[in-house]
Amino acid sequence: MSKASVLFRTATTALAVGPIPRVVGTLSTLAPKCPLSADILEVRLDKIVRPSDWLERCVRLQSSGKPVLLTVRLAAEGGNWKSDNEERLDIYKRGLEELAAVDVELNSAICREVAREATRLKKASVISFHDFQKTPSLRELCAIVEKAHKAGSIAKVSTMIKHATDADVLRSLLRRRWDKPICVIGMGRAWSKTRIEFATLGSCLTYGYLDKPTAPGQMSAAELMRRLRRSSAENARSS
């Protein structure tokens, strides 16, 4: 568990991410018609036919008062971007000039350069690892988190839960003491409840969709917000 916090900075606000779990609402469009019921707005640019004014549209979204997290996910890790190339790096660098944070894969060739640029501009970087087939061992996941923390400001681990023992591994990962925030996500429809549970155990972020789901077992951001508020109220009454 981490008590550290990272600031998601916009032109007018700075949202602390760390000890208090935050809900990330994922968008697959730059012109959403849905309520923006989330603490942070994730723009999945890899899932959008990218208009020339994509950055201006992201800035408009951020002007709502909610930080924008820019993600351009590689196909190898569940996204639609086909190659880890200079064009993707340029998108991240342009985004960091205006937006609060970026999410880049730990195993990406451009990971370190993106994270360095985020640090230079005092922006947040989520360094992510995905396994859509299984949950690796606790030892493997600890090494992944340590490597991600060396690169950026938040380590994000998202793995497929097939058995109860997989969920136990992810709980153990959250209970470890970390110097930087950690986000842990368990994928799989039967395990969607862990998106609330893991947030109460120390996952700094939990993800829900705003317009349409982007991962197995994902619920809406609005539902996550409701359940987290209810969980917090219940914990306050029992303490």
Strands (DSSP E) found in 22-147: 22-27, 40-44, 68-71, 101-105, 124-131
pLDDT at 138 over 60: yes
In the predicted model, what is the mean pLDDT of residues 12-36? 92
The model's pLDDT over 89-130, given as tens digits with 9 standing for 90+, comes to 999 999 999 999 999 999 999 999 999 999 999 999 999 999
Show the tokens assigned to 66.
């909610």
pLDDT digits over 159-209, tens only?
999 999 999 999 999 999 999 999 999 999 889 899 999 999 999 999 999
Distance between CA atoms of residues 43 and 35, nearest Å: 15
Residue 145 backbone dihedrals phi, psi, to 5 degrees = -65, -45
Provide the annotated active-site residues. Answer: 130, 156
Q: What is the pLDDT of residues 42-74, one digit of tens each?
A: 999 999 988 999 999 999 999 989 999 999 999
The class (CATH top level) of 20-225 is alpha beta
Strands 154-160 and 22-27: unpaired
Give the pTM. Answer: 0.94
Q: Which of 111, 153, 154, 155 is nearest to 129 (CA)?
A: 155
Nearest to 32 by CA among 65, 53, 70, 58: 58
Reply yes or no on whether the pLDDT at 84 is more than 90: no
The per-residue pLDDT of the chain, averaged, comes to: 92
